[in-house]
Amino acid sequence: MVILITGITSGFGRAMAQRLSADGHKVYGTHRKAQDLLPGVTYIKADVQSDQDCEDAVRQVVEAEGRIDVFINNAGMGIGGPLEFCSLEDARRQMDINWMGMVRFLHHVLPVMRKQGEGKILCFSSIGGLMGLPFQGLYSASKFAIEGYCEALRLETKAFGIQVVVIEPGDFATSFTAQRKSVAAPEAYEVYKTYAKSLESIEHDETTGLKPEYLAAKISKIVRKKRPRYHYIISTLEQRLSVTLKAILPPSWFARILGAYYHL
C-alpha cells in the first residue's frame, strides 16, 4: 500500500514510518527539518501550516505512485497552561497546526481517494480529545475539533469506499513533552496555585508512558484491517478506564475525579 504520514521526524510519526516501511508498504512522510533519515522512507519537506506545501506533498505522492491508499494525519504540537494566560496567538497556532493542518491535507487527499473508490484515513486525536484536560485546554480543543470533523467526514465519504478512523493515544514517552510550549508567566503560577503541581503530574505521566513502538505496532494492524473500528484508544488500562468513567458517570462526578487527579 502507498501510505502518506504527516510529521515523521520523531515520536509517533517516526515509529509508524519505520514499522510500516518494514511491513513492506511504500511510505512517504512529511517533515520540516528531517535528520537521521529512515531507509526505505521517502521524505517530503512540508509545513502543515502552508496551504501550498500540503497541496504539493499530496501531488508528489500521486505523481510518483498514482494513488494514496492510506493517509495518516499525525503532525501536531501542544500548548499548555491556564487558559486565561494562553495568548490569542497561542490559540490560533494550536488550532492551525493540529486541526487546520489535517484539514489542509484532507482537502487534497479526499479527491484522490474518492476517484480511487477506496482509501483509509487515520487521524490522530487523543484521550484529551475525549475530555477537557486542565491546563491543556487549547490542546484538548484542537483534538475535540478533530473528533467532530472526522465524525462528519466518516458519514459523508462512506459511499466512496473511504474509511475514517480516529486514533486516541494516552500518554507516551516521546519528544512531545519537551517540545510542548507551556505558559511561563509568573502571574499564571501565582493566580493558579495548582498549575505547577499539575504540570509536574502531566510531564511525569508522559515521560513514563508507553513507547511509540507500541503504538506503531497497533497502527500496523489497523492499516491491514478490512473493516477497522471508528475509534481506537491506545493507552494504559487506567487511561482507558478514565474514558469509560466519563461516559457512564454524571458529569459532576467525573469532574471531581479529574480535578483530584490534577490537584485542583
Catalytic residue IDs = 139
Residue 77 in grid coordinates: 504540537
Mapped onto helix, strand or coil, the DSSP state of residue 149 is helix
CB-side neighbour CA atoms (13 Å) of 140: 14
Q: How far apart are CA 129 and CA 205, in angstroms?
A: 17
Sheet with 162-169: strands ordered across = 41-45, 26-31, 2-5, 70-73, 119-124, 162-169, 231-234
Residue 209 in grid coordinates: 508512558
Residue 175 in grid coordinates: 519528544
Please count the other Cβ atoms lying within 10 Å of the Cβ belonging to residue 262.
17
Could you tell me the CA-to-CA distances from 260 to 190, 198, 205, 251 in Å, in that order?
Answer: 20, 10, 15, 14
Nearest to 57 by CA among 122, 106, 17: 106
Nearest to 159 by CA among 123, 119, 104: 119
